């Protein structure tokens, strides 16, 4: 009751009208980019890269799930690759056993994985930090072993749907509208976009606020009336749901699933690329997908062993932990602006625009479209580098 209906008379400047709707420029740019990814890219690149693109979309969803857990709520899970494998298994089983539409299978796989992944998340209610990471890694290992024993369905009968004596393995079916590799690429990209919309809707509303509070301080969250247990479970459920959907897409993309292709260590690689991509921005998940799937494809086509990636990711994580905690999604635009400012200074003789407060990491990327904001950020960046220069 306190303060409600109070003070509006004295400070009419703060009327609800001050809350402006977000500008439409950003959604328009995003839509244009999505169309570009859907139609322009498959038109110019070879089928090899289209297939890599499908994997990027799928792993971007997995990364997004981990992004929610680690970046939003502060729960480190090292079991996401196992959750992905569970989603793929459930989807493959359903696709062989039923004639349900592919979309329905996606949904059911997501829901079943949500329940199973929720179980993986149960320790999160009691544990945090390194202990939670360890427990989820152990569970992931256990799931990997279990799936290796049961095997992935390949058209056989029984619960596991595995038949070791089949000579001509039937392929896992794809949706009618997405039979070809290119069509399935578009199909995956659209579902990845839907997963982003789903997560964004969470982050921008009640659960997102609760997660931010939990991440910063559990006692502050409790004092504000947040049931931290429910919201942590919710985060695990959401991450598992989209990862399950990603698993179903993976089943459709690969058409043949082998337990050997789901390794426990992949969970660690996923965490590494998510950290490198940018843990605090949802866009970082796309970078993570590119790092995890496009980079190996590129190296492969250049004839370089993709084992080099493990070293690269190691260095990358080190770089993130020491100098760029917000990842590539934050660091690259900053560096580009700094570089641009440096070039301008070389040409223009050191003109110094008025200093402004530093832009926040998320806003910085949003501002990139507006030239004035861009210049301001560049000024800040330049100021920083000048200071660095003075002190050295």
Partner 1 sequence: MIEVSDLTVRFGGVTPLDAMTVKFEKGTCGLIGPNGAGKTTFFNVLSGFVKPASGSVTAFGDDLLKITHFRRARWGVRRTFQTEQAIEELSVYDNVALAHEHSKAPSSSRRTDVLNTISFVGLETDPQERVGTLGARDRRLVEVARALVGQPRVVLLDEPAAGLPEEETAHLGDVIKRIPEHSDTVVILVDHDMSLVSSCCSVTAVLDFGKVIASGQTAEVLRDENVVRAYLGNQALDE
Q: Which residues bind to partner 1, rule: CB under 8 A?
A: 1-8, 10-11, 13-16, 18-20, 206, 209-210, 212-213, 215-217, 219-228, 357, 360, 363
Indicate the residue among 215 and 338 with the shorter CB distance to partner 1. Answer: 215
Indicate the residue among 19 and 24 with the shorter CB distance to partner 1. Answer: 19
Instruction: Output the smallest distance, CB 5 to partner 1, in A.
Output: 6
Q: Give me the sign of the Cα torsion angle 293, 295, 297, 299.
A: negative
Indicate the residue among 243 and 361 with the shorter CB distance to partner 1. Answer: 361
Cα gap 142→129, rounded to integer Å = 20
Q: Residue 226: which of 237, 204, 211, 205 has the closest Cα?
A: 211
Residues 345, 297: contact at Cβ < 8 Å?
no
Indicate the residue among 209 and 338 with the shorter CB distance to partner 1. Answer: 209
Q: Give me the sign of the Cα torsion angle 214, 215, 217, 220.
A: negative
Indicate the residue among 99 and 219 with the shorter CB distance to partner 1. Answer: 219
158 φ, ψ (degrees, to nearest 5): 85, -175
Can you spell out the DSSP letters for 358-379? PPPHHHHHHHTTSHHHHHHHHH
Cα gap 129→133, rounded to integer Å = 6
Instruction: Output the smallest distance, CB 10 to partner 1, in A.
Output: 7
Instruction: Output the smallest distance, CB 285 to partner 1, in A.
Output: 17
Residues 62, 80: contact at Cβ < 8 Å?
yes
Q: Residue 147: which of 68, 107, 88, 105 has the closest Cα?
A: 88
Instruction: Output the smallest distance, CB 20 to partner 1, in A.
Output: 8
Instruction: Output the smallest distance, CB 373 to partner 1, in A.
Output: 14
Indicate the residue among 209 and 344 with the shorter CB distance to partner 1. Answer: 209
How many helices and strands in the chain, by DSSP H and E? 17, 0
DSSP single-letter state for residue 304? -
Instruction: Output the smallest distance, CB 235 to partner 1, in A.
Output: 15
Instruction: Output the smallest distance, CB 122 to partner 1, in A.
Output: 19
Indicate the residue among 224 and 370 with the shorter CB distance to partner 1. Answer: 224
């Amino acid at each position: 009751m306190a303060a409600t209906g109070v003070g509006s008379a004295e400070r009419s400047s703060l009327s609800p009208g001050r809350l402006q709707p977000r500008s439409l420029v950003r959604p328009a740019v995003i839509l244009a980019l999505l169309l570009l990814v859907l139609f322009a890219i498959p038109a110019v690149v070879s089928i090899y890269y289209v297939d890599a693109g499908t994997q990027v979309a799928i792993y971007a969803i997995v990364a997004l799930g981990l992004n929610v857990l680690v970046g939003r709520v502060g729960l480190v899970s090292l079991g996401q690759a196992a959750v992905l494998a569970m989603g793929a298994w459930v989807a493959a089983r359903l696709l062989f056993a039923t004639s349900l539409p592919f979309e329905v299978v996606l949904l059911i796989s997501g829901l079943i994985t949500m329940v199973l992944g929720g179980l993986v998340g149960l320790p999160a209610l009691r544990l945090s930090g390194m202990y939670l990471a360890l427990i989820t890694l152990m569970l992931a290992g256990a799931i990997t072993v279990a799936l290796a024993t049961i095997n992935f369905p390949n058209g056989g009968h029984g619960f596991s749907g595995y038949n070791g004596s089949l000579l001509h393995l039937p392929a896992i079916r794809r949706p009618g509208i997405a039979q070809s590799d290119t069509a399935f690429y578009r199909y995956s990209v659209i579902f990845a976009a839907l997963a982003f919309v789903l997560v964004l809707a969470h982050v921008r509303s009640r659960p997102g606020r609760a997660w931010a509070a939990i991440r910063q301080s559990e006692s502050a969250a409790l004092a504000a009336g947040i049931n931290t247990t429910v919201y942590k479970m919710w985060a695990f459920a959401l991450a598992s749901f989209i990862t399950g959907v990603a698993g179903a897409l993976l089943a459709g993309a690969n058409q043949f699933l082998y337990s050997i292709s789901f390794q426990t260590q992949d969970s660690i690689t996923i965490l590494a690329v998510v950290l490198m991509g940018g843990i605090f921005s949802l866009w970082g998940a796309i970078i993570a997908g590119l790092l995890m799937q496009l980079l190996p494809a590129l190296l492969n086509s250049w004839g370089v062993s993709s084992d080099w990636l493990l070293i690269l990711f190691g260095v990358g994580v080190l770089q993130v932990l020491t100098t760029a905690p917000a990842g590539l999604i934050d660091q690259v635009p900053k560096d580009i602006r700094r570089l641009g400012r440096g070039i301008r200074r070389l040409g223009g003789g050191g003109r110094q625009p008025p200093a402004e407060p530093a832009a926040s990491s998320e806003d910085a990327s949003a501002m990139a479209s507006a030239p004035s904001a861009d210049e301001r950020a560049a000024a800040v960046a330049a100021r920083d580098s000048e200071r660095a220069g003075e002190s050295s």
